[in-house]
Amino acid sequence: MDECVYLKPGKEIPVLRRHPWVFSGAVAKLPIFEEGEILPICSSKGERLGWGMFNRRSSIIGRMVSFNPSATRDEIIPQAISDAVNFRLKWINGGSTTAYRLVNAEGDGLPGLIIDRYGDYLVMQVHALGIERVRSKVIETLIKLLNPIGIYEKSNSPSRRQEGLKDRLECTYGTVPARVIIQENSLKFSVDFVEGQKTGLFLDQRAMRERIGELAKDRRILNCFSYTGGFSLYALHGGAAFVDSVDISEKAVKGIEENILLNGLGDAKNWANHATDVFGFLKENPLDHDLIILDPPAFAKKKQDLKNACKGYRDLNRLAMQKVKEGALLLTCSCSQHLDEECFIKIIFEAALEAGRSVQILEKQRHGLDHPVSLFHPEGSYLKGLLLRISD
C-alpha cells in the first residue's frame, strides 16, 4: 500500500526550500493513516521529498521532521534530539550557566517540541500530535543523553488544543521539586517551573539580560514587566545606582526580592519593587531613569489579536518615550509571534513620532545560541528587541 502524502503540482516548492509547514490546500492525496503519524511526502510526480508528521485536525496538516528522503522513520526524532542536545553541550557553558533551551521546535527540526534544562531537571512542552505519538521515545532519548533526576511536562498551550490534545501538567519521569535554584552567567535564580511563566524562566532573554548588566553601572534602571527580576538582577550585579522593577503580579514581585537576596545584592537597598500596572506606573511617575526596559508578555497570541496588539505596543512605547529624559536608553521588546520585526519597527517609529522624540537604533535583539531559528522558517523568530537612544 502506498503510504506517501502527495502534493499538488507546484506545491512542492516550499518543501524543496525546506520550509517545515505543509498546509492542507497543498495536499493532493493522503494515504490511510492515524492522525499524527510520520509519513513520507512526495511531489505530484512521485519524487520523495522527506518526512512529515500529519494531522488532519490542524490547518498546518503536515510538519516536516526530515528533508532527507532516505532517512529511517523510527530514528528521525531521536537523532534530531541528539543533535540538538549535543550542540548545546558543546557550546553552552554548563559551569556558570545551568539553565538553557535544549530543543527549540522548528529551529531544531522538531516542530511542536520544546525542552528546557534547569540543572538536573528538564521541562518538556509538547504542542503537536505527531510529537505526542512518539512522546515515550522522546523521554527515553532524554534519559539516555542526560540522565536527569526528573522531567516535568508542561504542555498547556492553545496550539496543543488545536491539535486535538488535552493539557498535560505532570512529572513524567523521576521526581521534580516545587522549586529549583539554577545559575545563569553565575547569577542564581529561584525557579518555579510548575507554576511559573513559560517553563519557569524566560530563557530566551539571557543574552539581552547580560547586555543590560554591561550597561548598568552607576545608572538608574527601570525594569517594566519584570516578572521575577531577570533584568533587574543583572543590572544590580552590573553596579546600577538604583533599579525599579514593576510587575502587576504580587507573587512575581516577591520573587524579585528572593532572587536579589539569593545573590547577596540586597544590602545596599538600591532597589524598589512595585506590584502595579505598568501603564499606570509610566503615567504616574517622572521616569528619571537612564535605561528603561519594556519586555511585555505577548500582546498578540492569535492573528486576530494583532490590531489591538499593535495599538498596545504603540501606546506603551509612546508613554515611555514622552517622559524619558534626554539621552536615556530604551530596550523595547515583543515576543508576539504574529508580529514580525518589520511591523514592530514600524510601530516603534509611530510611537516616536507621536511622542515627538528623536530615536536612534543602537542594537537589535540578540538570540542566545540555545534558541536557534531555522533560516528556512523565519516565522520562528518570534522575539524582537530594539535598544534605542531617546533624545529631543
93: three-class secondary structure by DSSP: coil
Distance of CA 150 to the CA centre of its chain: 22
Q: Check if the beta carbon of residue 165 is closer than 8 Å to that of residue 129.
A: yes
CA-derived radius of gyration, the chain: 22
d(CA 300, CA 190): 28
Q: Check if the beta carbon of residue 375 is closer than 8 Å to that of residue 67.
A: no
Residue position matching grid coordinates 536579589: 260
Helices (H), the chain: 13-16, 73-91, 129-133, 135-146, 158-162, 206-215, 230-237, 250-262, 278-284, 306-323, 341-355
For residue 167, count other CB atoms closer than 10 A to its CB: 12
d(CA 40, CA 290): 56
Beta carbons within 8 Å of 70's beta carbon, 6+ residues apart? none
Beta carbons within 8 Å of 324's beta carbon, 6+ residues apart? 287, 289, 292, 330, 357, 390
Closest to 82 in 3D by CA, of 38, 146, 149:
146
Distance of CA 195 to the CA centre of its chain: 17
Beta carbons within 8 Å of 25's beta carbon, 6+ residues apart? none
Nearest 5°: the CA angle 318, 324, 329 is 95
Q: Which of 171, 310, 335, 343 is catalytic?
A: 335
Is 335 among the residues known to form the active site? yes
3-class DSSP string for 152-207? EEEECCHHHHHCCCCCEEEEEEECCCCCEEEEECCEEEEECCCCCCCCCCCHHHHH
For residue 308, count other CB atoms closer than 10 A to its CB: 11
Nearest 5°: the CA angle 119, 125, 129 is 150
Q: Which residues are catalytic?
A: 335
